[in-house]
């Protein structure tokens, strides 16, 4: 006597869901009674790009309207997500036509299909195979953050490797890496560094919330560094920007937001001088004289090696790069001594000298008197 023949719809759905999740694969008689025996099947996950604008069972309806048999498509909801179990060749053919449409016709966001991100597992004919199909579709959906906004569908071939790389660094490394090209207003190099960061995050495959938080830490750290180094800018991490980053739908979208945020920081000192590499270097020193000005360190920010930059700088200005940096620092120190009540050690730090005794030596050599004498 069948245990399942007279079950109502709610009970039938309950056991189908359990079978799909691999929670009762030993119920072979249920498998047969439900009509699953020898039938090909697959699990599909679907999320709307605009959950508020789509009806709760919209993807289910699209499957049925396109020729899918409602008796062979079970639909479950988990929040804004639909989980479909497709049973039989007709339902799978309908899925195949949708996959083809996604991959070769790139539906726009205004079309019904263009509103969805869909993942699916492999075709199965056994309880164990069905549970694996569900698991694959679920893992792929959880990884949605790592696909572009214009990607709509993802199948078993996109399963991440079993051993993912960990992100062997912290946010401070990316903050330091980006500060150089930002100070040089080198947009191509900024984009190159951001791409490297995106690649590292993609390989690490940390949870989406953790990845978003990591990006926020980088943005916040850079904003604070700008505030410390360019106090007149009065920059601190923007609440609106943080909100956008934390709610970003994909890694690529989050990195685009970060790039726009960083480029907006360049408005602190405007665009590069634009008259050539020497003018850009001079502008860089004028705004960043308090930072580490070793030519070996800053040369990559301009895309050249230090020997070449040092040679052309002296050819065009008549003085070495180091001498020019020292001259600018002394000019700024003189201004601070005359216009502020800052202590000498504070001024030394402001113009890029961590050792106040060394600052005294440099100041006397350049100005001909001590900082205290100059202030009088």
Q: How far apart are CA 2 and CA 71, in angstroms?
A: 20
Q: What does the domain layout of the chain look like in residue ranges?
A: 9-158, 171-268, 277-375
User: Rounded to whole angstroms, how far apart are CA atoms 341 and 127?
Assistant: 79
The list of the chain residues with pLDDT below 70 reads: 1-7, 25-28, 49-57, 66-71, 105-113, 149, 160-169, 229-238, 267-275
Digit-coded pLDDT (tens) for 298-329: 787 777 778 888 888 888 889 999 999 999 99
Task: Report domain 9-158's class.
Answer: alpha beta
With a CB cutoff of 8 Å and minimum separation 6, the contacts of 134 are 20, 21, 22, 43, 83, 121
CATH number assigned to the domain covering 277-375 = 1.10.10.60
* pTM of the complete model beyond 0.75: no
pLDDT for 332: 92
Question: For 368, left (φ over 0), alpha (ψ -120 to 50), or beta?
Answer: left
- pLDDT of 273 reads 46
Tokens of 181: 């090209």
What pLDDT shows up at residue 1? 37
């Amino acid at each position: 006597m069948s245990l399942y023949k007279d079950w109502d719809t709610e009970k039938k759905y309950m056991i189908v869901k359990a079978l799909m999740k691999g929670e009762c694969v030993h119920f072979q008689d249920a498998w047969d009674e439900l009509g699953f025996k020898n039938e090909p099947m697959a699990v599909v996950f679907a999320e709307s790009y605009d959950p508020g604008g789509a009806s709760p069972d919209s993807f289910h309806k699209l499957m049925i309207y396109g020729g899918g048999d409602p008796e062979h498509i079970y639909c479950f909801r988990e929040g804004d997500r639909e989980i479909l179990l497709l049973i039989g060749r007709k339902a799978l053919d309908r899925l195949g036509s949708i996959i083809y449409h996604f991959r070769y016709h790139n539906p726009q966001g205004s079309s019904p299909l263009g509103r969805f991100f869909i993942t699916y597992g492999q075709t199965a004919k056994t309880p164990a195979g069905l549970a694996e199909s569900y698991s694959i579709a679920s893992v792929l959906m959880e990884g949605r953050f790592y696909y572009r906004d214009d990607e709509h569908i993802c199948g078993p071939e996109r399963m991440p490797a079993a051993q993912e790389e960990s992100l062997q660094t912290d946010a401070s490394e990316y903050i330091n890496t980006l500060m150089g090209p930002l100070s040089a207003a080198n947009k191509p190099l900024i984009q190159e560094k951001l791409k490297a960061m995106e690649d590292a995050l993609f390989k690490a495959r940390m949870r989406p919330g953790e990845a978003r938080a990591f990006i926020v830490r980088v943005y916040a750290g850079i904003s604070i560094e700008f505030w410390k180094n360019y106090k007149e800018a009065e920059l601190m991490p923007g609440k609106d920007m943080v909100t956008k980053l934390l709610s970003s739908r994909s890694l690529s979208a989050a990195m685009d937001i970060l790039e726009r945020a960083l480029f907006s920081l360049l408005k602190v000192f405007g665009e590069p001088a634009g008259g050539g590499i020497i003018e850009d270097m001079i502008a860089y020193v004028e705004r960043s004289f308090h930072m580490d000005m070793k030519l070996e360190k800053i040369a990559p920010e301009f895309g050249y090696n230090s020997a070449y930059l040092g040679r052309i700088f002296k050819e065009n200005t008549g003085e070495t790069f180091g001498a020019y940096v020292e001259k600018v620092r002394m000019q700024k120190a003189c201004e601070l001594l005359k216009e502020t009540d800052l202590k000498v050690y504070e001024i030394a730090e402001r113009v890029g000298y961590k050792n106040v005794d060394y600052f005294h030596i440099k100041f006397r050599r350049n100005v001909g008197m001590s900082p205290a004498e100059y202030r009088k």
